[in-house]
């Protein structure tokens, strides 16, 4: 086992114990020894528990992990985080790619985006709502949910009558 692998295991253990600062340091040390997807991903996950780490830095780490190993799990994690911080276009891109990489779970990715967008977008875009944007948000969320359920718009309207 290499030094980097040992650091990754220690980082995972600390992350599981909710020692975010300790985990972050272990993943950071692992990255100094070997630039690998699990280390970038682990550092991003640990950073979620640290208030001093900027959201763009967390997204960068997730995306560096994806550059090395394009994994639907990594994509879902960054997409979910992007929804939380209001970066909806990035979230949409990553959910779509996760669905492409893992078509068996496409419905899960698309519905997760639909629900996240439906409830988070109005909070993040208050000014937009004042200009009549709520219907746009609802329409987009609903379209994603219909796509996840593999229901055409016309069929949905018919079912709701």
| Domain at 75, CATH number | 1.25.40
Structural domains of the chain, count: 2
Question: Which pLDDT score, from 0 to 100, does residue 135 have?
Answer: 79
Question: Which pLDDT score, from 0 to 100, does residue 131 have?
Answer: 61
Both 32 and 86 in one domain: the answer is no
What is the mean pLDDT, run by run of 10 residues, along the chain of 161 residues? 90 97 97 96 97 96 98 98 95 97 97 94 70 78 90 89 88
Question: Which pLDDT score, from 0 to 100, does residue 128 have?
Answer: 59
Question: Structural domain of residue 140, as residue ranges?
Answer: 71-161
The pTM of this model reads: 0.89
CB half-sphere exposure, 161, CA atoms < 13 A: 5
Both 80 and 119 in one domain: the answer is yes
CB 84 within 8 Å of CB 73: no
């Amino acid at each position: 086992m290499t030094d980097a692998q040992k650091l990754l295991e220690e980082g995972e253990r600390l992350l599981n114990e909710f020692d975010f600062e300790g985990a972050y340091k272990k993943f950071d040390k692992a990255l100094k020894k070997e630039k690998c997807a699990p280390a970038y991903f682990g550092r991003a996950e640990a950073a979620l528990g640290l208030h001093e780490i900027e959201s763009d830095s967390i997204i960068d780490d997730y995306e560096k992990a994806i550059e090395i190993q394009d994994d639907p799990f990594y994509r879902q994690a960054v997409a979910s985080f992007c929804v939380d911080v209001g970066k909806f276009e990035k979230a949409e891109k990553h959910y779509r790619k996760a669905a492409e990489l893992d078509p068996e779970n496409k419905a899960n990715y698309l519905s997760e985006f639909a629900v996240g967008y439906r409830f988070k977008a109005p909070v993040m875009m208050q000014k937009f709502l004042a200009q009549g944007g709520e219907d746009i948000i609802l329409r987009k969320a609903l379209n994603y949910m219909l796509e996840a359920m593999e229901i055409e718009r016309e069929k949905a309207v018919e079912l709701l009558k």
